[in-house]
Amino acid sequence: MAAIRRADTKPEIPLRSALHARGVRFRKDLCLDLEGARVRPDIVLTAKRLAVFVAGCFWHSCAEHGSRPTKNADYWLPKLARTVERDAAATAALVTAGWIVVRVWEHVPLGRGDQVLPPLAG
């Protein structure tokens, strides 16, 4: 799993490019030290206190496109469940600290950013 990237993933790059083209200033992969939690969103708009997570359908168990592993299920199913729990905890910590959280699935066409950009840029 060393080849799995934390930043600069294929779904994330088109969204960042669309934000940049619209002149939206952001930080990528910024570690936020909150009270009782450490969170690292994919894109952070610090001035708006907005955190964006680009979630992969497999890794974050998308209900629409996420697939259940058939091989080594005893390992993968608890691992994926922990990821979902960690996502919920990160969202709760950010909301408690006064942040707006946007979670975008990789299957959303992010190149145009129509589904994501209006709330971000507004």
Query: Each residue of 9-59: pLDDT tens digit?
Result: 777 888 888 888 888 889 998 999 998 889 999 999 999 899 999 988 777
Residue 118 has what pLDDT? 57
Does residue 61 or residue 93 have the better pLDDT?
93
* Share of residues in the chain with pLDDT > 90 (%): 34
Phi, psi of 2, rounded to the nearest 5 degrees: -65, -20
Residue 111 has pLDDT above 70, yes or no: no
Compute the distance between CA of residue 23 and CA of residue 39 in angstroms, rounded to an integer. Answer: 25
Q: In terms of Cα–Cα distance, which of 99, 87, 106, 120 is closest to 18?
A: 120
Region of residue 27 (phi > 0: left; psi between -120 and 50: alpha; otherwise: beta): beta
Delineate the domains of the chain, giving CATH numbers in brackets. 25-121 (3.40.960.10)
Q: Strands of 12-122 (E only): list them.
A: 27-28, 32-34, 37-39, 43-45, 50-55, 100-105
